[in-house]
A = this chain, B = another copy of it.
Amino acid sequence: MSTDGVVSAEPRLTRKGRATRERIVTTAAGLMFDHGVAGTSIEDVQAAAGVSSSQIYHYFRDKRALVRAVIACQTDAVLGAQQPLLDRLDSVEALRKWRDLLVGLQRERHYEGGCPLGSLAGELAETDPAARAALAAGFGTWESAIRAGIQAMRDRGELPADADPERMARALLAALQGGLLLTQVRRDTAGLEAALDTVIDHIAGVGAGTSQHVG
């Protein structure tokens, strides 16, 4: 679940420095989630976090550096919100519980906001190559966690040897991202449910085929 690959190297900070930096990043993440990256200025972050301009620039060279810290922060937040399920998606039952968690989170949020990483991706992918790379790394970490569970199912013989955990994990992540986008646009979770259920049913079906072979 570490996002070390995403975070750029930071200078050593005192405890107080780390707290200030974290306050700046979480404030920026919230503003960018609500108003978009383009709709959030360094001055907005300053005012909302209650820090001075020189403090922000002490920690972040420019807005792009702040955006990369926001991506790392949101990667941790998104993956953290799916714990502990995300680290053990190694049964169809676990996949369905995870699906229920994701759908439930959207309902709690009144279907607003979509995926914090997906939203950043849509806004930054074509204009900020470093941000795109950081987002790709974040999605990679997410997909790896999903794949590890499916891989464990295959290793235990609950999926056939020729099942492709990587492909299944990719399909799940895409279904999830598209489902979250449709949730945000339509203010309901029907598309999210349909997409996740279809991919999970597919995995369950591949697994059921195995049982038939074995049985």
Where the two chains meet, the residues of A that have a C-beta atom closer than 8 Å to any C-beta of B are 34-36, 38-39, 112-114, 118-119, 121-123, 125-127, 132, 135-136, 139, 167-168, 170-171, 173-182, 184-186, 190-192, 194-195, 197-199, 201-202, 205
Contacts and interface: CB of A to CB of B under 8 A. Distances in A.
Contacts of A170: 182, 190-191, 194-195
Given A118-B122, A123-B36, A195 B181 contact: no
A89 to B, nearest CB: 16
Contacts of A119: 122
A170 to B, nearest CB: 4
6 contacts: A36-B127, A170-B182, A171-B198, A174-B195, A198-B202, A201-B202
A200 to B, nearest CB: 10
Given A139-B186, A174-B192, A198-B171, A181 B123 contact: no
A135 B183 CA distance: 12
Contacts of A195: 170-171, 174-175, 178, 195, 199
Nearest to A139: B185
Most chain B CB inside 10 Å of its own CB: which residue of A36, A122, A123: A122
Contacts of A112: 126
A39 B127 CA distance: 10
A88 B190 CA distance: 24
Given A194-B167, A205-B205, A34 B126 contact: yes
Most chain B CB inside 10 Å of its own CB: which residue of A174, A195, A199: A174
A174 B178 contact: yes
Most chain B CB inside 10 Å of its own CB: which residue of A132, A171, A175, A190: A171
A38 B182 CA distance: 21
A92 to B, nearest CB: 15
A181 B118 contact: yes
Nearest to A192: B174
Contact of A178 (B178, B202, B205): B178
A129 to B, nearest CB: 10
